[in-house]
């Protein structure tokens, strides 16, 4: 019989959830559960929390870091959620997408903008009509810069100088740090979710073409490699790094 305290699809995850409310072995662990619950309030503990709480110290550090990224930066909510959604789409983390796409929409990003974020493998190949529609739905110069930066951080790790310059032209130092931390943090989240088969947590996976398709990802990496390798010397570290990335 299914445990009524377990979240939906708990039996389909690669590890079981801890019971809810989570059992604790010490006052320290009880305090950790309280901190996680306080950040989620008024919502209950989420499936991600009930997975992380197999290791209370990890859950505690995760809660503190992600809480700062989500609630204590000065990034505009739309910009933050845009970056998170792009990470989710790149990594096929649909549980993450399902939580953050509605937040992005609530922050002002329209349907055409979110469709570009979800489906477009290479932003440079976007058609004029699609780009115009996305711009009308909230993707301005700053948003495009954040998307490109997010793509390179997520797929290549190393960011090309021109991509960073584009971001730096529209963001001050604090924003650059906070965008970078947000993208890094949600790459951590998405990798945890996908590794534990968290696609089972999503109520509905997006239909149609997505940028996580292997062939599309390969084409995107190749296009970025060709663009950036022309700027690097034949023996330079950038070329070597991009070649290694393409081979992954």
| Rounded mean pLDDT for each run of 10 residues along the chain, 248 residues in total | 44 83 97 97 94 97 97 97 97 92 97 96 90 95 98 96 98 98 97 81 45 46 44 42 37
Residue written as token pair 């910009």: 79
CA distance 221 to 160: 13
CA distance 33 to 59: 8
**What's the pTM value of the predicted model, to 2 decimals?**
0.78
Structure tokens at 157: 């790790």
Residue 143 has a pLDDT of 98
Residue 203 has a pLDDT of 44
Structure tokens at 237: 């570290």
Residue 198 has a pLDDT of 67
Nearest to 88 by CA among 188, 203, 220: 188
Residue 218 has a pLDDT of 46
Domains and CATH numbers, the chain: 10-71 (no CATH), 77-212 (1.20.1290.10)
């Amino acid at each position: 019989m299914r445990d009524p305290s377990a979240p939906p699809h708990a039996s389909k995850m690669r590890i079981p959830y801890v019971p809810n409310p989570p059992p604790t072995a010490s006052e320290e662990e009880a305090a950790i559960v309280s901190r996680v619950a306080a950040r989620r309030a008024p919502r209950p503990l989420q499936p991600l929390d009930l997975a992380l709480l197999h290791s209370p110290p990890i859950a505690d550090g995760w809660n503190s870091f992600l809480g700062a990224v989500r609630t204590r930066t000065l990034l505009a909510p739309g910009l933050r959620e845009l970056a998170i959604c792009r990470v989710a789409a790149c990594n096929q983390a649909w549980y993450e997408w399902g939580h953050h796409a509605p937040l992005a929409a609530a922050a002002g990003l329209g349907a055409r903008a979110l469709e570009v974020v979800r489906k477009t493998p290479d932003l440079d190949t976007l058609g004029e009509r699609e780009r115009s529609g996305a711009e009308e739905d909230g993707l301005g110069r700053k948003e495009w810069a954040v998307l490109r930066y997010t793509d390179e951080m997520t797929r290549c790790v190393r960011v090309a100088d021109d991509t960073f310059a584009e971001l730096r032209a529209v963001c001050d130092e604090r924003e650059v740090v906070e965008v970078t931390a947000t993208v890094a943090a949600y790459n951590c989240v998405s990798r945890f979710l996908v590794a534990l088969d968290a696609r089972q947590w999503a109520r509905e996976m997006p239909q149609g073409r997505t940028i996580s398709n292997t062939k599309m990802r390969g084409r995107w990496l190749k296009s970025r490699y060709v663009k950036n390798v022309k700027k690097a010397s034949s023996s330079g570290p950038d070329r070597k790094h991009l070649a290694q990335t393409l081979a992954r």
